[in-house]
Structure 1
Amino acid sequence: GKDIVQFAKAVEISSPSIDGKVCKTKKGQSGTNSYGVYASESNTAGNSNRGDVALCGGTGNTSTSVNASPQALKDFVVKTLLGDGSKNWPTSTAAASGTPKPETNDNAKAVAKDLVALNSDEKTIVA
């Protein structure tokens, strides 16, 4: 957990544009402000109507309209990994009735997927 936090801080400082491409939350529905919001537990099915996600790159609630912009790696580290990697690494957590349900190593896999998707120059910067 601590290693991913240090990595994320280095990426944020060295290349904010890359930070914005890793763990970028998605809209719960098209055409609305329904991006996922990083939290310590996923709860897109809950009554929060916010689309709380603890999954890197998670999708917001389909019925919310309050999240106008996506969140990314720096937000993921602060809000989901609690700033120190003590929670949700390498696997996310969900509220009792929350979705998406955690899968083993889901956050580690999602970060890796986003890093692989970077272009060659971006990968060099990250390395």
Structure 2
Amino acid sequence: MEISAKEIDGKVCKVGSSDKKYDLSNKSGGSARCGVGVSGSATVQLKDFRVGVLEQNDGWPGSGKGSESSDDNAKAVAGDLIKLTPEEKTIVAGLLAKTIEGGEVVEIRAVSSTSVMVNACYDLLSEGLGVVP
């Protein structure tokens, strides 16, 4: 996102203060937690979280801070993504789909239970299982 969607990169895992950074050396102090960081010299956002935490193969899904849940970083990133506008969410979904070969973004607003049941029964029938709805 730091190349194609800089405005979104600045909204995810952004630390409130401009004097923070991400660092794995003091995980118990929250330095590896999305949106927290520790004393540093630059504005911190998603690209910094990626470099300082994720690329070190540590700190995901949890930051390692003892008082936090084991998936606190995943929840923090998800919380930031939820706050994005619908247009920004579409951009993020498109970028994620591009990272997965053959992935595409499809929006489904509502599916009726009848449709789901018919499709499920058809799928099972095509696999040789007889199902009566």
Q: Shared fold by TM > 0.5?
A: yes
Cα distance 1:44–1:71, how it changes in 2: closer, same or farther (>3 A)?
A: farther
Spell out structure 1 runs of 4+ moving beyond 2 A.
Answer: 41-45, 100-103
Q: Say yes or no: does 1:104 pair with 2:70.
A: yes
Confirm or deny: 8 A CA contact 1:36 1:70 kept in the other structure.
yes
CA distance in 1, matches of 2:44, 2:28: 15
Q: Say yes or no: does 1:55 pair with 2:55.
A: no
Cα distance 1:110–1:13, how it changes in 2: closer, same or farther (>3 A)?
A: same
Cα displacement (A) at 1:42 = 3.8
Count the aligned residue pairs: 93
Q: Any stretches of 5+ residues in structure 2 without a counterpart?
A: 94-133
TM-score (norm 1): 0.61
CA distance in 2, matches of 1:19, 1:55: 16
Confirm or deny: 8 A CA contact 1:25 1:60 kept in the other structure.
no
Cα distance 1:20–1:12, how it changes in 2: closer, same or farther (>3 A)?
A: same
| Structure 2 residue identity aligned to 1:14 | S
Secondary structure, aligned partner of 2:49: helix
Cα displacement (A) at 1:16 = 1.0
Say which structure, 1 or 2, has more relative contact order (CA 8 Å, 6+ apart): 1
Of the three residues 7, 10, 30, the one matched with 1:20 is: 10
**What residue is the counterpart of 1:124 in the other structure?**
90
Cα distance 1:103–1:41, how it changes in 2: closer, same or farther (>3 A)?
A: farther
Confirm or deny: 8 A CA contact 2:14 2:34 kept in the other structure.
yes
Confirm or deny: 8 A CA contact 2:22 2:38 kept in the other structure.
no
CA distance in 1, matches of 2:20, 2:26: 10
Sequence identity (%): 42
Greater Rg over alpha carbons, structure? 2
| Structure 2 residue identity aligned to 1:78 | V
CA distance in 1, matches of 2:27, 2:77: 20
TM-score (norm 2): 0.59
| Structure 2 residue identity aligned to 1:37 | K
Q: Say yes or no: does 1:114 pair with 2:80.
A: yes
**What residue is the counterpart of 2:118 in the other structure?**
none
